[in-house]
Amino acid sequence: MSYCVNCGVELDSSLPSCPLCNTPVIHPGQLRQASPYPLERGQVETVKRKDLGILLTIVLSATSIGCALLNLFVFNNSLWSLLIIGICIILFVLSIPAVIYTKQPIYLSLLLDGVAIGAYLYMITYLTASDRWFWQLAVPIVALATLLAEILALCIRKLPVSIIATALYIFAEAAILCIGIELFIDRYLGKPLSPSWSAIVLTVCGIIVIALITLLSKRRLRDAVRRRLHF
């Protein structure tokens, strides 16, 4: 038995409307049929990586070509467009393993990243008076950073992986990178090869590395640290 939604009088289930106020009787089963919303659940089609890669390539190419044309015909005081073209090249290379070709080996991706950064720095030489800084400073630092990135990827893939082990690899390579950067700078400036600020970084990273090695070698200590830090 149902009741009128307007006056509250008791209604027979067969009545199409209320006999007292003529309000239409709507049964619960009819609400689904009268609903203005679609009954089927819709689903948005996922964007394909290929289409996203095409869009990204077109946007970066159009940006590079547009800036090159502006530099050639309008603002031609300097080769400023090389800076933007270099950034577009770096963004394209970085997007290859994520969007365009997901099966690209990590080692090849890191190598291409280093080459792209080196090419960008070489473009900057056209805006400077000399390219000596590029060959004696930029190239060695980029090469060292690329090599350390390759070694880090190798360690993560081939050696036991954990937060403590990954932190060990990162701190060890950070010390090597800082030492290398300072030595390259001293060589570029013609100074004696003697670490100063990088020695501080080396000391701090060395202490952290020794502590992490101790944690990894002592299972009970390692488990206690993991429980307390929730990882």
pLDDT tens string 151-186: 999 998 888 778 888 889 999 999 999 999 999 999
Terminal Cα distance for the chain, rounded: 60
pLDDT over 90 at 68, yes or no: yes
In this prediction, residue 84 has a pLDDT band, given cuts at 50, 70 and 90, of very high
Residue whose token pair is 């090849």: 108
pLDDT, one tens digit per residue, over 91-140 is 999 888 878 787 888 899 999 999 999 999 999 998 888 889 999 999 99
What 3-state class would DSSP assign to 25?
A: coil
What is the pLDDT, as a whole number, of residue 173?
94
pLDDT, one tens digit per residue, over 199-213 is 999 999 999 999 888
What 3-state class would DSSP assign to 33?
A: helix
Cβ proximity of 146 and 110 under 8 Å = yes
Cβ proximity of 9 and 3 under 8 Å = yes
What is the pLDDT, as a whole number, of residue 97?
83
pLDDT over 70 at 190, yes or no: yes
Cβ proximity of 197 and 204 under 8 Å = no
pLDDT, one tens digit per residue, over 32-66 is 555 555 555 656 566 677 788 888 899 999 999 99
Pairing of strands 10-11, 2-3: antiparallel
Q: Which of 26, 28, 31 is nearest to 6 (CA)?
A: 26
Beta bridge partners of 2: 11
